[in-house]
Copies of this chain bind each other. A is one copy, B any other.
């Protein structure tokens, strides 16, 4: 079980969009160049973000993407679920129903205990992702990334932002 690479792409794109000045937009082309990704395919990931309402878009030259909310209100979970979907990572096929020892047409009152445990772990994963916002990420990045690269990237982005 490995997350799609689009998840990583979307997270990095949102990190960049978090530092974008209010009201400006950054295009797929710029985001693809900045991360060295295939533009057309990255576009699908960004469309997922758009469809989930996490970003706003505009058309035309100087068009592109910006966050739909302040970074304080955008969590890792939002982005992960936008790309991967909101469904549980464990799908219960209810194979207990195949038990030859049970009466025909017998129906369970509760979901399988095994599935419940897997879903609890799934929820723990989501809770951890829900706790981290892109505001916090920006703070961390500002501390960790070399000031030179940080400033250079910011300038690079601003030059291309519509």
Residue numbers of A with Cβ under 8 A of B are 1-5, 7-9, 11-12, 15, 33-37, 76, 84, 87, 89-93, 95-103, 106, 110, 113-115, 117-118, 120-122, 124-129, 132, 137, 140-141, 144, 146, 149, 152-153, 155-156
CA distance A37 to B98 in the complex (A): 9
Q: How many copies does the complex hold?
A: 2
Closest to A124 in B: B128
Closest to A88 in B: B2
Q: Give the secondary structure class of A's interface.
A: helix
Q: Do residues A144 and B76 form an inter-chain contact, with CB atoms below 8 A? A: no
Task: Kindly list chain B residues whose C-beta atoms are within 8 Å of the C-beta of A4.
Answer: 1
The answer to whether A90 and B7 touch (CB under 8 A), given A95-B35, A100-B33, is: yes
CA distance A101 to B157 in the complex (A): 10
CA distance A152 to B96 in the complex (A): 13
Task: Kindly list chain B residues whose C-beta atoms are within 8 Å of the C-beta of A114.
Answer: 8, 11-12, 15, 137
Closest to A102 in B: B149
Q: Do residues B120 and A128 form an inter-chain contact, with CB atoms below 8 A? A: yes
A47: min CB distance to chain B, Å: 19
